[in-house]
Structure 1
């Protein structure tokens, strides 16, 4: 949205003075040598090589050469060694004879002096002559023809002194890539008298111009001499470079230049185009990547100061006000990006006043889009107004963005899932109609997030895989593949699913891939969060408390309340109930105060209530702990059902069953487990599946305690099979303490059945696992779920 805002305030200016640089001389020489080979191929059809044999100039060579020349025309000046490396890459299939003659002509141009430059330009003119019998080698109206004609026009305007300085610049350009030639040249200069060369130049009779022309000539020569020592950027090259980098930063950050390298390029660009405001805006985007607030503010001020000054000179009052209001709007966006809501609202009010003075409805709609994002009250009303007004003004991007924001708000505040996904379908229609790739990917990522909220892990994986396999190429905009925030979130969803399945190694490899693709904020927060969840989960299952604490410490900077819940889980596992209670109650207090906040998800509140109920069950000091846990679990179940959190509702059902089992109500507990088991086995990870199966086996055995031995034995055998599945599930996620609980219960059941060999086998396996992974869980088998 920032780039769209900026386009309204851009005012084009006259291009700066052009110049013939050594890089352009090399490109002209490369074109001339290719044309020579093309003339030979017209007559002989084959090209003879020095080593013997022949080589045809095929269509692939012509195509690659045209693509290469187009790249060289559009890109900024390259050093000679960079140009030679580009020519020798496998990306462009060029004739070996072409490269050899090109290097030879570069050497001859360096050795033969200024006259060789004059001869080169004369030969270039002949390429576009149209004889009656033979077609010209280069058409005047082609891209190469226009480029050569432009070079010739600028060369004809140059004086002799400028040509000499241009040739000296070429000598330095050649010597930088060939240091040995520079040494040889210095030795030759020491042998020959430098005075002879100087006298020979002075002998040339050149009429002196008038004083004004002479002063202008000196200024021009000085400018050429200063520009010869740095990279030259034409106006069109700068515009193309800025457009490409700005697009890559927003669509495929991995393909964009790194922040330090990009800043160096912008610095060179501003030296050639000091008044180019768009370069400062690119600096602003680059500072946002690196989270550099001061640099972002200064760059934004520089950008709009230059735009406003230009508008004052060449435009009217309306254009000047246009720059002011969009400057205020971009400033509000900047403050919002760094979390300064108060300052952002002040800037938005200024933009509203300036837009209302001239009835700029488009600017007002952009302000409204940011207003409902920053506001804490009447969000639903603001979103509805923004969507309807944007639709009336045919602002498709704002309409689709508003619909997605409304769907997110509805999903977080308890809206019906059917309504939420219906809204996203309308957004998808607009995205497809207008080819808005970024919003299309965000829609898939938002669907995956909603399915994760509702507890449908299979749908989360499906939406994420659809996004990752989506063809997001946009050749019209030069986008090979879109890798924005939605893509990063889809990768993180895959990581989270793999963590639940116990595939820690594969998940860590994908995190490494995400680190390479999304190294900067805000997208880096997603994979950092998933990485710390991976470290915490693996450490908790393995009983490594210090590593779990380190993961929580890293998680605090990303999500404060998630870190509090994970810390409570850690304290609960270690038996530190007062610290666990302090963490859980801090989350509950915040949830009660911010119940209407869309960013405080209801699932966090439900999880906090579940942990509080676990504390009530595990604490030895609470005599009536099961009764206190029931009230908490009832509240959690009501809240989960109100927000359609099916998976959390099933988890609450398991905790209800565990409490009832402790109270001796095995039959009622078995019914609750049967109601929740299907959801857990369908959408839960291996750890939750193992817990559900273990509880189911305990309830089955406890409910059959009053039966006789004959009726009880089939129940126990069924429980043994269920416990074997639970053991495999815990082993998959490396939850060794839980697996030892299963082995302990299996040994008891085998002992009751009289299976001595199986009992000893379970006892031996328990001992081996206990030696490798000593139990550090404070809660007992009977109390914890």
Structure 2
């Protein structure tokens, strides 16, 4: 069996094409040759005449300018002149004067200037001592020379007339708008976007320029979208390329990627169809039997998956598998199997057959991706954490050895997610910061993809639960700027609505919390239902909370972590019901504890222990409650948010005081416990959760009232009154353990 052509990426693939079409020589290209000709003349004169200062800086600026002129498409003479006089690419004054003289001679002297140019190029590329036989400039000279040789005399005359018209029109435009490039800011804006709006109708994108543009923008979309052109400008450039090269399929494919990032489904479908239609036409023109139709079905499946059309995506995947089997294409089969595992949860995850052929370098990406997927699926089934981290280390080694920046970042982000799931939030935060401080560069490109976005979002949530909402919003704004479009924007939008709903619940702003929860539903259904249950509990709307939690628990596809959290909220709901049996609450907590133990969810275990302590306090068993709260105290204080820390400190003080029977012992204990309660109040105030601050003051006022100490009772009653006057809340919100 013949070896198949290897894909450039795992996600998308297109066959390479030969660019057989001859480039068209345009006035802009002639102007570039004139610039090079005058540069060589000035450089030679400067070597012989010390009065002309032609510094290394001048040479470097011209080389950068020349690289840009060769890489980018034709531009109007006005724009070319703007580059020649710009603060970034401006050329030497003498060089500019000689270039303008030569352009004027083209008009006054006539076609002899082009014949002289022909001889100059011939001499440069035939001179053995010339440095312009090789390199970018040498290749450019040879392409121009070959085109001139193949031109007939009428074509030569047409080129001359077009060049004269090009120069005359440009000179008039320069005179009219002489200040177009007067400031560096306007030029830098043009430079960043590479937009030449006044495009000559006769100018063309050459084959090499088109290939370079598509390759650069595709790489930027994959690794760092913020450095790519914005969707509108990119589509304009692609329309120009398609106009000049109608059969260039990669331009249509880049147009498809551009449509996907702005969620334009219909144009994306049209572009991907045209892309593979053009590939087939080129194969027919070259008399080749194309066997690459399976990749069109694969890419169509990926397109549907991007828009959550799972049924259509699965149908395209099945078609892709049949075509790949007919052509014995193992690589395509493995890519199809990878997407099949992502789209259909019932399929086995990345079998050993997927990594059997290790000698193909393209499969290293599949191997590493398979390991990360295996770790993710195993984590949700209760596999031993130490084994998972050991397997994930193998993926990290592969990624570093092959410099796969995307999977390196995703591996670190997955490690942070695992630590967070197992309740080690501080370690998770450190992993995210490690990723953000890593220098992930491939050649000169800095990676800025999914892993970075996930790390930033996890830090946003961590800062929010620590009460640092201003810092969280700052990081969130930075994330929005770095990842402005779908699909990566989905992650920070989820984090945004989540922390918005959480903050609104703490503040008692029910309308804002409800709106955030409903916006969250389209992004993460189960998280939205959990937050709505939180909201219903905070408002003591226990019936609605119970309905929402049943909706979550009846879904068999939810993750163990989500199920444990839903069971914990169910226990809160039952505890708040006046007629609910405490044994029913204990049974729910036992179910949650069993799932948490099976899946190593340590932090959730601590929260369950805390709720057990609360139930034991309600049953008038303070000694057992104190033991339970001591078991969870360290874990929550080390890894929890400040809301959970404040709750556990408050509960711990309650248990300590309830254990003591004598009034003197209670007074002794309260003196030692007051700093803990002050810390709890500080945490609640930082979250602007003033209803819980009132709970603490009410507890202290009642405690001193029971001990008949009016001075201390009045002190905390007064603090309660001040908070109530400044931040009034509904009465039923108070004294709620949740």
- What is the TM-score with the length of structure 1 in the denominator? 0.84
377, 382, 392: which is aligned to 2:346? 377
How has the CA–CA distance of structure 1 residues 769 and 42 changed in structure 2, closer, same or farther, with 3 Å as cutoff?
Answer: same
1:263 corresponds in structure 2 to 235
Say whether residues 1:555 and 2:520 are aligned partners.
yes
Query: How does 1:698-737 map onto structure 2 within 5 Å?
Result: 698-704=654-660, 706=661, 708-737=662-691
1:142 corresponds in structure 2 to 135
How far off is 1:664 after superposition? 1.1
- What is the CA–CA distance in structure 2 between the aligned matches of 1:178 and 1:751, rounded to whole Å? 93
1:624 corresponds in structure 2 to 580
Say whether residues 1:296 and 2:254 are aligned partners.
no
274, 278, 285: which is aligned to 2:246? 274
1:155 corresponds in structure 2 to 148
Query: How does 1:231-630 map onto structure 2 within 5 Å?
Result: 231-317=203-289, 320=290, 322-380=291-349, 383-391=350-358, 395-475=363-443, 478-479=444-445, 481-590=446-555, 593-594=556-557, 600-620=558-578, 623-630=579-586
- Provide Cα deviations, 1:474-503, integer angstroms capped at 9, x if missing partner: 11xx52x10111111111011111111111
How far off is 1:115 after superposition? 5.2
My pick for the range that moved more, 35-44 or 89-98, is 89-98
Q: Structure 1 unaligned runs (5+)? A: 48-54, 185-226, 595-599
608, 626, 640: which is aligned to 1:684? 640
1:203 corresponds in structure 2 to none
27, 42, 46: which is aligned to 1:41? 46
How far off is 1:14 after superposition? 4.0
2:63 corresponds in structure 1 to 66
Structure 2 residue matching 1:4: 3-state secondary structure = coil
Structure 2 residue matching 1:778: 3-state secondary structure = helix
Contact 2:463 2:469 in 1 (8 A): yes
2:611 corresponds in structure 1 to 655
- What is the CA–CA distance in structure 1 between the aligned matches of 2:11 and 2:719, rounded to whole Å? 67
2:189 corresponds in structure 1 to none
- What is the CA–CA distance in structure 2 between the aligned matches of 1:730 and 1:538, rounded to whole Å? 12
- What is the CA–CA distance in structure 2 between the aligned matches of 1:378 and 1:17, rounded to whole Å? 50
Contact 1:616 1:629 in 2 (8 A): yes
1:218 corresponds in structure 2 to none
Contact 2:73 2:206 in 1 (8 A): yes
**Aligned-residue RMSD, C-alpha:** 2.8
How far off is 1:674 after superposition? 0.7
2:195 corresponds in structure 1 to none
Contact 2:28 2:203 in 1 (8 A): no
1:24 corresponds in structure 2 to 29
Contact 2:74 2:200 in 1 (8 A): no
How has the CA–CA distance of structure 1 residues 148 and 633 changed in structure 2, closer, same or farther, with 3 Å as cutoff?
Answer: same
Say whether residues 1:763 and 2:717 are aligned partners.
yes
- What is the CA–CA distance in structure 2 between the aligned matches of 1:241 and 1:162, rounded to whole Å? 29
Say whether residues 1:695 and 2:693 are aligned partners.
no
Q: Structure 2 unaligned runs (5+)? A: 1-5, 178-198
How has the CA–CA distance of structure 1 residues 410 and 87 changed in structure 2, closer, same or farther, with 3 Å as cutoff?
Answer: farther
- What is the CA–CA distance in structure 1 between the aligned matches of 2:271 and 2:549, rounded to whole Å? 44
- What is the CA–CA distance in structure 1 between the aligned matches of 2:121 and 2:730, rounded to whole Å? 83
637, 660, 668: which is aligned to 2:624? 668
- Provide Cα deviations, 1:629-649, integer angstroms capped at 9, x if missing partner: 111111111111111111111
- What is the CA–CA distance in structure 2 between the aligned matches of 1:176 and 1:418, rounded to whole Å? 72
- What is the TM-score with the length of structure 2 in the denominator? 0.90
My pick for the range that moved more, 355-364 or 107-116, is 107-116
- What is the CA–CA distance in structure 2 between the aligned matches of 1:498 and 1:717, rounded to whole Å? 32
- Provide Cα deviations, 1:360-405, integer angstroms capped at 9, x if missing partner: 222222222222222332524xx23344425475511111111111
Structure whose alpha-carbon radius of gyration is higher: 1
- What is the CA–CA distance in structure 2 between the aligned matches of 1:169 and 1:182, rounded to whole Å? 20
- Provide Cα deviations, 1:395-440, integer angstroms capped at 9, x if missing partner: 1111111111111100122111112111111111111121111111
- What is the CA–CA distance in structure 1 between the aligned matches of 2:663 and 2:600, rounded to whole Å? 44
- What is the CA–CA distance in structure 1 between the aligned matches of 2:697 and 2:553, rounded to whole Å? 36
1:57 corresponds in structure 2 to 55
Structure 2 residue matching 1:766: 3-state secondary structure = helix
- Provide Cα deviations, 1:24-72, integer angstroms capped at 9, x if missing partner: 223223222322331122113452xxxxxxx4412x4333432332232
- What is the CA–CA distance in structure 2 between the aligned matches of 1:288 and 1:109, rounded to whole Å? 47
Say whether residues 1:637 and 2:593 are aligned partners.
yes
How far off is 1:358 after superposition? 3.5
